Structure 1
Amino acid sequence: MSNMSMYIGEFVGTTLMLLLGNGVNMTCSLKHSYGKGAGWIVTTFGWGFAVMIPAYITGWVSGAHMNPALTIALAVTGKFPGNLVPGYIVAQMLGGIFGATLAYLVYKVQMDEEPEAGVKLGVFSTGPSIDAPLWNIVTEVIATALLLIGVLAIGYGEVGIQPGNGALFVGLLIVLLGMATGGATGNALNPARDLGPRIAHAILPIKGKGGSNWKYSWIPVVGPTIGAILGAVIFDAFIAAVI
């Protein structure tokens, strides 16, 4: 597989993830959506499937990272070629912007009629239930560390899931993390998942959208990146200790 093919795979996968994931947010949150008020359980399952389906579509091309933090963590721990990291991150970020834009186009009329600027931003990017930057970043670090440990464990050892089923269990892991840790910060777990849609929110001509909360934007980038590296290191240390 050529490098460009893998970059295209990451772009397509991340585009689909944000189209579906932000679409779930819009379904559950916008005032004039039929799914308004569907709740956190629907949101977490929706995001789990929003990760799983693109992973099945593009995983055979690029490995379906769809997450700069995952890509960086795998490279830092020697599981992924470092020379591919910049191209992967660019593809993932562009996919995040484009996918969020497509979700907006699906719900353009409902977005225009939504009276709350906070809801207009919330369907794109994450935000804390209580604004406490230190603890918000702790939440993202812990949640993303758990994500990496789970992702690496799913295909490892005698009880490892068969490769064809890996995406299903990663999707279920996303659901569980959303239920267990998402109530604090909305669970970014992924810089492209938050920063890409936040950029889309900032540049799209959304009626009455308000600000994009840039003061919080560093947390869903730095927290998941630290957490992903930490999770990969912990997993490797565990394997080294028990073998």
Structure 2
Amino acid sequence: MPSYIAELIGTAIMILFGGGVVANVVLNKSKAAGGGWIVIIMGWGFAVMLAIYAVGKYSGGHFNPAVTLGLAIAHKFPWIHVLGYIVAQVLGAMLGAFLVWLHFKPHFAVTENAIAKRDIFCTTPAIEDYPSNLVSEILGTAVLIFAILFIGINEFTGGLQPVVVGFLIMAIGLSLGGTTGYAINPARDFGPRLMHALMPIAGKTDSNWRYAFVPVLGPMVGTIIGTALYGLFYRTGASNTMSFLGSLVWLIIGSVLCFFLLRYGKQKQAENHIVESSSKI
């Protein structure tokens, strides 16, 4: 199986199970309605695990532009394939989102909560504060890529590594996910958000594009910082081919990008306050 096709299929599987568990919990008349955050976290962990089992041997099982970028920075993935993987991941996420809508179509029609329906496809922060939301996505993704890299230096019984990665996704969600819904994956948020905008979903609200830069750009900055920290701290016995100077340069790049992204988020937050204040007059 070609690696690009594998990434598309794997990402579609991940979104089908991940978006599916959210739909199961939030849509009316689903037998799993009201299952809660723990059910959603477990569903996403199993979604990633099963997607890796399905196609990981063909593509490496990234399913996430931030992971692809991080592995390229760490010299564990060729830069020439980065753009192709990202395109495949976004398309796979769109396909998975379509399948979720198709599967739960009658339940969308009987659910009045338009925000809950949007949450099936993309993330919404618990408290909309762009700088804080960016910090959550940057930190969560830095932890994700840092952990993926240090998990990779351990030896596991054959076939066990996808389980460990699945538990990693659960751990991030349980500990850090309640603020933004922990996208930590630009394709997971952008592809389904685009499908939410395009598909004839009954009673839907807007797709909240003003927030979309947070789960798209935040994880890309987070993965640069997380990979750079791994390169700096894991110097011996870790199959680390990043130079200390190269890691330091990437950390500086990530820090500068983080500074400007947070400043942009603060600016957008101020603009939102002005718009909201004007609408109340």
Pairwise TM-score range, normalised by the shorter structure: over 0.9
Range that drifts further, 177-186 or 227-236? 227-236
Q: SS where residue 164 of structure 1 aligns?
A: coil
Query: What are the Cα deviations for residues 29-67 of structure 1, in whole angstroms up to 9, with x where unaligned?
Result: 112211111011111010000000010110000001000
Give how far 1:163 is off.
5.5
Equivalent residue in structure 2 for 1:206, among 188, 194, 201 = 201
Equivalent residue in structure 2 for 1:72, among 60, 69, 73 = 69
- Aligned residue pair count: 238
Equivalent residue in structure 2 for 1:236, among 231, 235, 245 = 231
Give how far 1:162 is off.
4.3
Query: What are the Cα deviations for residues 60-104 of structure 1, in whole angstroms up to 9, with x where unaligned?
Result: 000010001110111123221011011100000000001011011
For residues 120 and 203 of structure 2, the distance between their equivalents in structure 1, rounded to whole angstroms, comes to 14
For residues 54 and 73 of structure 1, the distance between their equivalents in structure 2, rounded to whole angstroms, comes to 19
State the AA in 2 paired with 1:68: P
State the AA in 2 paired with 1:123: I
Matches within 5 A, 1:164-183: 164-183=159-178
User: Would the aligned equivalents of 1:155 and 1:163 in 2 still touch at CA under 8 Å?
Assistant: no
Name the structure 1 match of 2:273: none
State the AA in 1 paired with 2:222: G
Give how far 1:200 is off.
0.8
Name the structure 2 match of 1:227: 222
- 1:242–1:62 distance in 2 versus 1, CA, 3 Å: closer
For residues 228 and 113 of structure 1, the distance between their equivalents in structure 2, rounded to whole angstroms, comes to 39
Q: SS where residue 7 of structure 2 aligns?
A: helix
Q: SS where residue 210 of structure 2 aligns?
A: coil
User: Would the aligned equivalents of 1:154 and 1:161 in 2 still touch at CA under 8 Å?
Assistant: no
For residues 30 and 201 of structure 2, the distance between their equivalents in structure 1, rounded to whole angstroms, comes to 17
Q: TM-score scaled to structure 2, two decimals? A: 0.82
Name the structure 1 match of 2:271: none
Identity %, equivalent residues:
44
Query: What are the Cα deviations for residues 124-162 of structure 1, in whole angstroms up to 9, with x where unaligned?
Result: 111100000001000011111111111111120xx4434
Name the structure 1 match of 2:156: 161
Q: SS where residue 11 of structure 1 aligns?
A: helix
Mind listing any 5+ residue stretches in structure 1 that lack a counterpart? none
State the AA in 1 paired with 2:106: V
Give how far 1:242 is off.
8.2
Name the structure 2 match of 1:143: 140
Give how far 1:229 is off.
1.6
Name the structure 2 match of 1:189: 184
Equivalent residue in structure 1 for 2:50, among 48, 53, 58 = 53
Name the structure 2 match of 1:81: 78
Name the structure 1 match of 2:267: none
Mind listing any 5+ residue stretches in structure 2 that lack a counterpart? 239-281
Equivalent residue in structure 1 for 2:107, among 107, 110, 117 = 110
Name the structure 2 match of 1:38: 35
Give how far 1:14 is off.
0.2
State the AA in 2 paired with 1:82: W
Give how far 1:241 is off.
7.2
Residue 22 of structure 1 pairs with residue 23 of structure 2: no
State the AA in 2 paired with 1:233: A
Matches within 5 A, 1:90-101: 90-101=87-98
Query: What are the Cα deviations for residues 207-239 of structure 1, in whole angstroms up to 9, with x where unaligned?
Result: 110100000001001111111121111111111
For residues 240 and 95 of structure 1, the distance between their equivalents in structure 2, rounded to whole angstroms, comes to 35
Q: TM-score scaled to structure 1, two decimals? A: 0.95
